[in-house]
Structure 1
Amino acid sequence: MSRIAGRFARVEPRRRVRDLVLGLLSDLPRKNCWSIAEWAGEATPDGMQHLLGRARWDAGAVRDDVREYVLEHLHDEGAVLVVDETGDVKKGTHTVGVQRQYTGTAGRIENAQVAVYLVYAGRRGHAAVDRELYVPRSWTRDPDRCRAAGLDEDTVFAIKPELAARMIGRFLDAGHRAGWVAADEVYGGNPKLRSALEERQVGYVLAIACSHELTTGAGKFRADALAAKVPRRAWQKLSAGAGAKRHRFYDWAVIDVAEPRPGSRQLLIRRNRTTGELAYYRCFSPDPAPLNTLVRVAGSRWRVEETFQSGKGLAGLDEHQVRRYTSWSRWVTLAMLAHAFLAVVRADEHARGPTPDGLIPLTCNEIQRLFIALVVRPVREVAHRFAWSAWRRRHQARAGHYRRQAANQT
């Protein structure tokens, strides 16, 4: 917390932001301004709501502090920047960026808010270092709606690959080096993102659709047509990295792509050893890269799913109940910080020495349990609990739907 203390001019928000981050790391069944304020010993949630919505501090500067914290502790020369989006299902139409759209969280089209994240994935661990809210066209075409949600009236629509390029640019402009970027088909099929990475001499392994066309020495072909031409002897069995239980082995093949520009370009093909299902990746590197390096980078993409899972499950990344952009950006930035803390502690514990026989290495989940039991959990008096019960009931009595229910009963 001392890393971000200088971003807050007064002692009250410094203390309150510490309580909020500790609340995000707690074992509360639901994490929002109300529950965290009660847990932290405050009389009402007004202070937490003020911190997120109206207090003077720069969430972008704190985001930069989170990035520096992660890079300092998880630095790896072979690290991969992984880009992906995740959605939070919402009700109503007022939450910033919400509309009916596909989200992988639900696996279908839902009323949801979607954000794109940049995850730093290395051998020591992985954590999110940047975030951008996806603002649909239905919002950018309505300046009044943008203004009401705290967005600039001149907010311009940007597709997800453009948001990814924006975050990668911030990472590189801060003076950091990243040899590789990995992402799914949404990003691999975008030529502007690929060109931006090539101009900055950043390698990539980006998933593409089977219908994606590539140019070889023999002409232009669809990715699946090129895969059909691969001879049996060209496939190699390699691990895409360790999964939850064991290494993920696939068959891999690579085909050179011909383009009249500097750099090495390939089509990487992955084949499931059980089902035969194929996946395709478009690859670039300033200098030729061996197959096992391309496979390692492709396998790093799963780290973003692990980051989302632990960020939501352990640090409340998706539990914000805020409508305006300022509050959203502040909440997710502090949740990123909370999760980064767990990832750093895990990395330091793993580096401390070998795990004792009969135990698995410490996980973020277990570190959180120990941290809650030994450091975080406060003891509150019964009077404090009753006071919060009364506050909730008074607040609910003022809500319109409760008043309507009371009127109907009389």
Structure 2
Amino acid sequence: MTHSDQEAACSATIAGGFEARFAELAGLLAPVFSRRDLRSNAMAYLRALLMPGVSGNCWALAQAVGHERPYRFQHLLSGAVWDEDAVRDAVRGFVARHLGEGGVLIFDETGDLKKGQATAGTGRQYTGTAGRIENAIVAVYAGYATAHGHALVDRELYVQAEWFADPERMRAAGFPDEHAFATKGQLARDQARRALDGGLAPAWGAGDEVYGRSSELREEFEQRGVGYVFAVGADFRITTSGHQKMRADQAIGLVEPPGWNRRSCGNGSKGRRLYDWAWIATASKRHHLLIRRKISNPSELAYYIAYVPEHYVCSLTDLIKVAGARWAIEDDFQDAKQSVGLDETQVRCYRAWKRHTALALAAYALLAVASILAKAAHPAPVLPDDPDRRAAPADCGMTALTVPEIQRLLTMTSVQRTSANQNIAFHLRWSDWRRRHQARARWHHYRARLALTA
């Protein structure tokens, strides 16, 4: 077999595997769209979202899939009869099937900056997208992560209390009359209920301080017999095993120098995420306070409340890994925004937002699962084991196929060649170069981190 034949076979394998997954998800979604034309439009919308560089408005999406006008997609989001929550549930089932049981259900929010005031949920509020208070919409998302990979499985728009004081504005934005105010913690609790009732089987929950301070969310996990490791603020109050009541930041005084344990909470793109950790027992034998200390700056601290159900057997290392799993949803936000336009809704009404994001979750799930399957068949990465070694090996291998790389390859295999030089083999060689370059950069990042912590 020639090199060109091998490249063509690689391209066919990638495209064929993805089409099989697309057909699988399309089968799960088929009952949601009772009419053939509606089902066709929904699948076309999915295809458009999967095309890189296509804006999230219906004009650009419709043009990308060859529609003469945007009206079919506009009707799909705003006027057609279908249940967007059933799409969400089908996506969750699809993700659960490929990621398996015993993972971590993760909660976080992300924003979408807006200029006007008409879009459902718009208001001045803090969003990590900008890193400050801006005019934006903010939504709470649930992600699911296992050792195989991770994807997004739920979403809900956060609506500030001021909206509910203006019923006319609520109606104009398309909110149903029964829509009630809910905190971000309550939205996460509802998502946890849907996930657990819908067959997802996580072993743990995780999230930042916004969710750690929600007693309702924590109680939901405890009542379901599911563990959690949530970040909490320095002012979070605990009762120690010695029956002393104190703030989390006061509990650090209980940690003796031997009580700090250097552990990794997961691998990042630049190496292991190493911190010093302390484990403090509380008056409840099932609850523990974790304190994380940055190695390079010991004054930088973070606090976590952990719940370990009675039937669990776990170590400090296990709890630290759950705490570190929270970063998976940040990767999901980045990839889903860049790849399928998760934050490019360009719609104003609440239902249209829910429908676009449901279909964006479906498109992202397809790419995430394709990446997971590719990773499972990929050789183990070449990583340094000696901090004194300066030169990288001659061959650092290649990184596994990521969501953005899979999207590029899928587009390349589905579009018609534009010239003799712009063919499939040409694009595959570029993909090969990128992944080898990334693998070499990864080796150097890991070596630098290894040297710092040696």
Q: Counterpart of 1:27 in 2: which secondary structure?
A: coil
Check if 1:70 corresponds to 2:95.
Answer: yes
> Pairwise mapping of residues 2-151 of structure 1 onto structure 2 (< 5 A)?
2-77=27-102, 79-151=103-175
Q: CA deviation at 1:29?
A: 4.5
Task: Work out the CA distance in 2 between the residues paired with 1:315 and 1:93.
Answer: 25
Q: Deviations over 1:170-203 (max 9, x none)?
A: 1111233221100111111122222222111111
Q: Who is 1:407 aligned against?
A: none
**Is the counterpart of residue 274 in structure 1 residue 299 in structure 2?**
no
1:397 is aligned to: none
Separation in 2, partners of 1:305, 1:24: 20
Partner of 1:401: none
TM-score (normalizing by structure 2): 0.80
Alpha-carbon separation, structure 2, partners of 1:40 and 1:29: 10
Is the Cα–Cα contact under 8 Å of residues 76 and 123 in structure 1 kept in the other structure?
no
8 Å CA contact retained: 2:93, 2:199: no
SS of corresponding position for 2:249: helix
Residue matched to 1:370: 409
Residue 25 of structure 1: how far off its partner (Å): 1.0
Q: CA deviation at 1:156?
A: 1.1
CA deviation profile, 1:346-370 (whole Å, cap 9, x unmatched): 1111223526962111111111110
- What is the CA–CA distance in structure 2 between the aligned matches of 1:33 and 1:109, rounded to whole Å? 29
Distance 2:216 2:28 in 1: 36
Q: 1:330 aligns with which of 320, 345, 355?
A: 355
| Residue 316 (str. 1) matches residue 338 (str. 2) | no
Aligned length: 375
Q: Does 1:301 align with 2:326?
A: yes
* Cα distance per residue 1:156-179 (max 9 Å; x no partner): 110000000000001111233221
Q: Look up the equivalent residue of 1:114 and give its one-letter code.
A: V
The runs of 5 or more residues in structure 2 that have no matched partner are: 1-25, 382-394, 419-454
Q: Spell out the pairing of 1:227-242 with structure 2 (5 A cutoff).
A: 227-242=252-267
Give the equivalent residue in structure 2 for 1:393.
Answer: none
Aligned to 1:286: 309
Distance across 2 between alignment mates of 1:47 and 1:369: 26
Q: Percent identity?
A: 46
The answer on whether the counterparts of 1:76 and 1:124 sit within 8 Å (CA) in structure 2 is no
Structure 2 Cα separation of the partners of residues 134 and 350 of structure 1:
34
- Root-mean-square deviation over aligned CA pairs: 1.6
Letter of the 2:214 partner, please give it. Answer: N
* Aligned-partner residue type, residue 59 of structure 1: E
Which 5+ residue runs of structure 1 have no aligned equivalent? 381-410
CA deviation profile, 1:327-382 (whole Å, cap 9, x unmatched) = 1001001111111111111111122352696211111111111011112x4799xx
Partner Cα distance (2:378, 2:301) in 1? 40
Runs of 4+ in 1 over 3 A off after TM superposition: 377-380
Map of 1:405 onto structure 2: none
TM-score (norm: length of structure 1): 0.88
Secondary structure of 2:125 counterpart: strand
Structure 2 residue identity aligned to 1:363: T
